[in-house]
Chains A and B, each alone.
Chain A
Amino acid sequence: MVPANRLGNPFICGGPVPPSHFIGRERELQIVFDQITSHALGSIAICGDRRIGKTSLLQYVCHPDVLQEWGLSQDKYLFLFLDSQSISEFRPSRFWQRLLTLLLRERKGNLPPEIIEGILAKEEIGHTDFEIILDEISRRGQVLVLLLDEFEWVIRTDDDNEPITRDFLSALRALMNRTPKALVLIVATCRELHELCRPIKFIGSPFDNEFTFRRLRPFTRREIDQLLDNALKGTGIEFTLEERDFVCSLAGTHPLLIQLAGSTLLEFRMQGLETAPNSELIRAEFEELARYHLSQLWENCSREEQMLLTVLALKRSGEREKSKWAYDGVAFERICRRHERTLKDLLKRGLIAQVGKSITVCPATFESWVIREIRNADKEEFAKRETLMFDLLPRDEAEQVTNVMRRISDRENVRLGRTDWKRIGRYEIIEELGQGAMSIVYKARDPNIARLVTLKVMRLDWEVRSQKSKMRFKREAMSAGQLTHPNIVAVYDADEDRGEPFIVMEYLGGPTLARVLEVLAPLSLARAVDIALQIGNALDYAHQHGVIHRDVNPSNIILLENGQVKVTDFGLAKLASTSSSSTSQSGAFHGTLEYASPEQILGQEIDGRSDIFSLGVILYEMLTGERPFQGKNITSVIHRLLSSEESLPLTALGPHLPLELKDILFKAMAKDPDQRYQTCAELGEDLRKMISSRGSGEE
């Protein structure tokens, strides 16, 4: 149905493709019709990944126009499509009943309805009843072609159902083999039929012996082009060669993924947007749409296939991010050689691609999905993936692979493999308080003096753990530890345990400013200014002692019950960056982007004025509940932070706030450090003046 007034998106992202839009599969169709029309009347078992097009193929095969095209008389060949999932609480009797009801309703081959009705009137229907129908069909010189979709639905192999399934399949086999032959089955399953039938203890020949097997492969490039052309017909839009390549790079060769990628790209084009500048957005949209289907592809892989896909994805991702990769190429070659057969299977299924000697997971979005699943895995999921490696690989290889998996994992407890650590250094771990970009934070106890402490294990760049880096870490931590001020969290100790550097600080029970803002933002003018003044005091003191914070943000500000404010993590951002030569060289940014000064983002030399900029951002957020430099993605935040034309959204301040405040914020967040307050004391002075000019009536 073509929309009358609206231009719709013609790609099919849901169920099967209708016969009118079916394309390709010439080879499979040839085999199906050859088997049906051969003297032997052979049956066929079609298998293939989820959403590869099995149902579409079966529905196409039994379409009257297609039968006519292939020269099959509908008087002779009675095609009956049955989705096995439509049978409630599967039992053989229900299967036969369902089949007979369909035959009756669809009036196939003018079979006498009274015979069918007679059988349907029985309480229990067995295969011998169905034999009567087959007798009638063969007497008339006809052939019944049963297309049984979702056939695994009837193959129940648990202890209770196995004998029923065995008897049912044996009966079906007997019906197929009666002479004269009158029954052909075309069954579709996701896993191969003989794999599904393996646990069944057949007496005599197994059911699956009777079938010709065909696996539905992914599309060829010609079929992909045909699919795209077909879909775009009538839209007035054409995809260029580059756009088609882009679709393939997103979706590989899987028909449904091609539909999803085509649909996403078309949506952008229909809005008048160009593909190249929006390719990242299109990719992100596609990944969201395809996520579930990619997980289905994974679920449909054997354990060995999952292991290989993981190894391949890690290898490739490691090659891209050189600093994170420590995989032994020789071990990789060994794994591939040992599992050559499985690699070939994956190749046939289009889940890997080989160019020369290089093998990659296909499509690239599937590779990203595999990596993302490792990265986001919780403890249990991660353990499952680790077990997979240790079950299927020699210990040394499994260790190599799981070490890489730990490195890319986002969850620190998984990454460090120390979920069961009860002690770090001499400190007893009580509970995990949270995880940040740079550290994992624990509440701990110092047993020497029975004091509660906050213990932070640093997330330092994993690869660079030279003695020199570790010494630098200690030195920086200790210089931060020299700061003694009522508004600064005291540092007690810095050390390392099992190669993990950690820092020990004063324990404070209060919430962070970030948490308070989440619930209470915006704060009153008086409270916001009071907090800003206390942060400013802490920063001023640190700057006078030559320590720059580098990551002033609400998560690093702790509010105590008595109204006191404490700033924590002095210099830790620098620790994180200086501990790794690779990140320093790459100019990687350590801090919290939305609060960072322009000079910090640009990787320039910074001084205390950079912290003042961050304080300005915090003050703005306390007063409005919003961050001044926000954006849909990192790039737009950076653009806003750096752009000189981008003025501060000061309208969000509201009419109830004094005009002077706008000037103060403007100066605190000036893009040029020279235009900014030069010290926190200067900023504090202006804030105090503003408050006193408002009088004591202001809350």
Chain B
Amino acid sequence: MPIGINPFWIDGPVPPSRFIGRKRELTKTFSQLTGPGQGSVAISGPRCTGKTSVLHYIAAPEIAAEWDLTEDNALISLFDCQLVDHPFNITAFWRQVLNLLRPHFQDSMGEGLQKLCQQEQISNADIEMILDAVHERGQRLILLLDNFERLIRTQVANETVTRDFLSQLRALINRRPRTLSLVVTTDEPLEELCQTIDFGGASPFPNSFMSVRLKGFSDQEIDELIENALSGTGMTFDEHDRRHISRLSRGHPMLALLAGHLLFEAKAAGPMTAENFQAMEARFREEVKKVGLGVG
């Protein structure tokens, strides 16, 4: 890659090929998904800390295969809950998810899904039937639900539907044979989002999840990020540059990419002087303000 094409990815989630770090969080998540409990995981972390990128990474066939999740035994599907129509209703949610799954089934099951999507109501019993069919094919379904807070509405008008939806979802992930696992992402921890929901004395939804909190990148992860981005560009960042990025971003992955992006741009334009550093920092602060991400 010639110098000039900026390798620091700042537009949306990082593609799996450029994903770095988060080894612990990924091991925890995959361990739960593939371990004996075949459990579900709730990933939380502040805005732009890489939750969506983590989901994309998990969904990447070559990565999932490393954990023995291949198309022969698992259907991994990523769904952004921001796409759910509002006002929210359970049938509409399942209709959207089932539509997403349809391409995986070219046979009679695909037709079955199509018919189900046309139903006026989709109940838990219907989803159980789908899950049983998936199980009979020797597969399981792993649903990656991004921006899950979009489905947790706790205003008076929505609380009942939210409570019913979450309770039913919980029943689905806990049933035997275990055919459905969820990985949900939220900014706030799931238990905090569900705190005000009255589950009528029955088990609260977050009970069935293992929680994983995404924190800031360590210096080592930032170094890896920089190394990964610069590889093949012919450009190098020295120790001072790296710590500069660390300091500006305070470990926030998106801000580290932004700082890297700006520094790359500045260095590509010519040798760095104190003035250039200051100008780059000023731009960084401006951009941070624009995207509404505070550091600290």
Contact = CB atoms under 8 A, between A and B. Distances in A.
A654 B168 contact: no
Interface stretch (A12-20, A336-344, A363-371, A385-393): A12-20
A586 interface: no
Contact of B202 (A150, A292, A296): A150
Interface in B62-114: 65-68, 73, 90
B168 A191 contact: no
B39 A6 contact: no
B129 A105 contact: yes
A624 B247 contact: yes
A98 B244 CA distance: 61
Contacts of A155: 201
Contacts of B40: 14-15
A86 B176 contact: no
A14 to B, nearest CB: 3
B35 A656 contact: no
Contacts of A425: none
Contact of B30 (A6, A88, A655): A6
A52 B209 CA distance: 15
Interface stretch (B224-232, B258-266, B272-280): B272-280
A652 B178 contact: no
Contacts of A152: 200-202
B27 A9 contact: yes
A1 B73 contact: yes
Contact of B125 (A98, A651, A656, A657): A98
A14 B274 contact: no
Interface residues of B, number: 65
Given A3-B34, A10-B31, A83-B174, A651 B240 contact: yes
A51 interface: yes
A21 B268 CA distance: 58
Contacts of B170: 83, 85
A30 to B, nearest CB: 22
Interface in B119-136: 123-125, 128-129, 132
A84 interface: yes
Contacts of A20: 36
A14 B201 contact: no
Nearest to A101: B125
A225 B273 CA distance: 63
B90 A88 contact: yes
A299 B168 CA distance: 22
A455 to B, nearest CB: 29
Interface in A1-45: 1-6, 8-21
B203 A656 contact: no
A518 interface: yes
Contacts of B188: none
Nearest to B132: A105
Given A15-B37, A88-B164, A4 B68 contact: yes
Interface residues of A, number: 62
A690 interface: no
Nearest to A231: B36
Looking at chain A's contact residues, the main secondary structure is loop
Contacts of A83: 170-171, 174-175
A90 to B, nearest CB: 9
B66 A88 contact: no
B34 A8 contact: yes
Most chain A C-beta atoms within 10 Å of own C-beta, residue among B37, B65, B129, B167: B37
Nearest to B26: A6
A281 to B, nearest CB: 13
A312 interface: no
B178 A156 contact: no
Contacts of B68: 1-5
A16 B37 contact: yes
B28 interface: yes
A3 B67 CA distance: 5
Contact of B31 (A9, A51, A189, A296): A9
B67 A4 contact: yes
Interface in A34-64: 50-51, 55, 59, 63
A18 B240 contact: no
A86 B32 contact: no
Contact of B160 (A2, A3, A89, A150): A89
A56 to B, nearest CB: 10
B202 A153 contact: yes
Contacts of B277: 654-656
Nearest to B125: A101
Given A4-B68, A289-B211, A656-B278, A55 B202 contact: no
Interface string B169-213: 011111110100000000001010000000111111011111101
Contacts of A98: 125
A196 interface: yes
B147 interface: no
A378 interface: no
Nearest to A51: B207
Most buried by B among A15, A18, A21, A625: A15
Contact of A81 (B176, B200, B210): B176
A153 B211 contact: no
B151 interface: no
A5 B66 CA distance: 5
A61 B168 CA distance: 22
Contacts of A137: none
Interface in B3-59: 24, 27-28, 30-32, 34-41
A105 to B, nearest CB: 7
B66 A4 contact: yes
Contacts of A55: 174
Contacts of B160: 89
Which of B28, B176, B203, B274 gathers the greatest number of chain A CB atoms within 10 Å? Answer: B203
B275 to A, nearest CB: 8
Contacts of A15: 37, 39-40, 173-174, 178, 208
A190 interface: yes
Contacts of A88: 90, 123-124, 164, 168
Contact of B201 (A51, A196, A288, A626): A196
Given A1-B73, A156-B200, A654 B240 contact: yes
Contacts of A2: 34, 68
A50 B296 contact: no
A80 to B, nearest CB: 12
A14 B37 contact: yes
A21 B37 CA distance: 8
A624 B247 CA distance: 9
B38 A1 contact: yes
Nearest to B37: A12
A2 B69 CA distance: 10
Contact of B273 (A6, A17, A296, A656): A656
Nearest to A11: B35
Contacts of A656: 273-275, 277-278
A130 B66 CA distance: 49
A652 B124 contact: no
A6 B67 contact: yes
CB-based closest 7 A-B pairs: A656-B274, A14-B39, A12-B37, A86-B171, A4-B68, A152-B201, A8-B31
Given A9-B35, A85-B202, 4 more contacts: A85-B170, A189-B201, A190-B201, A289-B211
13 contacts: A4-B67, A5-B68, A8-B31, A9-B28, A10-B35, A11-B35, A14-B39, A85-B199, A86-B167, A86-B175, A88-B123, A292-B191, A652-B240
